[in-house]
């Protein structure tokens, strides 16, 4: 793992990603991180995690190759985006969330019905009425639909009928695109 152009080193990036996995309930987040990243590296024929600015990518190019390209032109994107690092905190992207879904038995999650799925993708929170199945303790939780597709994640709330406060959902991309026009 290496950091090209970014100001964080590989250990701080890995630490931030592991901390996110721990927030969603994993007792052994390092194992999940290394298992999924190593599998993704070999599956995608990628060489390493690379940071460009605040963005974290799984890249086929080595950091040395990227550093040469960065000197010649501004590189904005390289490989599969895993997430963003802001103030030392990892904010996962959809690809990263999908990579940890196979470890659901070790994580906090809710599976929601079709109506709750739509509402969550529109930026709304998840309420008890929309939950089909759950495994929650504290911290954050993945939100999945009944087809086991990861829709995003949120903070576990225990007050009232609200169960998951939306932090990130896949509909965010569409809402941001609409705001630009």
Number of domains observed in the structure of the chain? 2
- Whole domain around residue 135: which residue ranges? 108-180
- Check whether residue 36 and residue 75 sit in a common domain: yes
**3-class DSSP state for residue 56?**
strand
Mark which of 40, 75, 100 sits at the end of a domain.
100
- Check whether residue 96 and residue 112 sit in a common domain: no
Cα 24 from Cα 27, distance rounded (Å): 9
Instruction: Sort residue 25 into left (φ over 0), alpha (ψ -120 to 50) or beta.
Output: left
- Check whether residue 91 and residue 118 sit in a common domain: no
Q: Is residue 162 part of a domain?
A: yes
Query: Which pLDDT belongs to residue 9?
Result: 62
Mark which of 66, 84, 100 sits at the end of a domain.
100
Mark which of 50, 80, 100 sits at the end of a domain.
100
Q: Is residue 138 part of a domain?
A: yes
85 near 78, Cβ under 8 Å? Answer: no
- Check whether residue 93 and residue 138 sit in a common domain: no
Query: Which pLDDT belongs to residue 33?
Result: 85
Q: Which helix (H) or strand (E) holds 176?
A: helix 171-180
Q: Which helix (H) or strand (E) holds 164?
A: strand 162-169
Kindly report the pTM of this predicted structure.
0.80
Query: Which pLDDT belongs to residue 35?
Result: 80
pLDDT in tens for each of the 181 residues of the chain?
Answer: 444 444 456 678 888 889 999 999 998 899 888 887 666 655 655 567 777 778 888 777 665 666 666 665 666 667 788 898 888 889 898 988 988 898 898 999 999 999 999 999 999 999 999 999 999 888 999 999 999 999 999 999 977 777 899 999 998 877 776 666 5
Beta strands in the chain (DSSP E): 48-52, 55-59, 80-86, 89-92, 109-112, 126-127, 131-135, 140-144, 150-156, 162-169
């Amino acid at each position: 793992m290496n950091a090209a152009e970014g100001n964080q080193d590989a250990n701080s990036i890995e630490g931030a990603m592991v901390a996110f996995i721990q927030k969603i309930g994993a007792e052994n987040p390092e194992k999940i991180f290394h298992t999924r990243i190593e599998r993704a590296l070999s599956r995608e024929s990628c060489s390493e995690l690379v940071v460009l600015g605040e963005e974290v990518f799984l890249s086929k190019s080595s950091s040395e190759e990227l550093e040469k390209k960065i000197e010649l032109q501004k590189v904005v994107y390289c490989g599969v985006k895993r997430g963003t690092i802001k103030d030392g905190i990892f904010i996962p992207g959809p690809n990263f969330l999908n990579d940890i879904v196979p470890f659901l038995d070790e994580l906090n999650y809710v599976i929601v019905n079709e109506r709750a799925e739509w509402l969550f993708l529109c930026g709304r929170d998840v309420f008890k009425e929309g939950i089909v199945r759950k495994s929650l303790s504290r911290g954050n939780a993945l939100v999945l639909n009944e087809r086991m597709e990861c829709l995003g994640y949120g903070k576990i709330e225990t007050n009232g009928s609200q169960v998951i406060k939306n932090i990130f959902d896949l509909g965010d991309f569409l809402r941001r695109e609409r705001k630009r026009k």
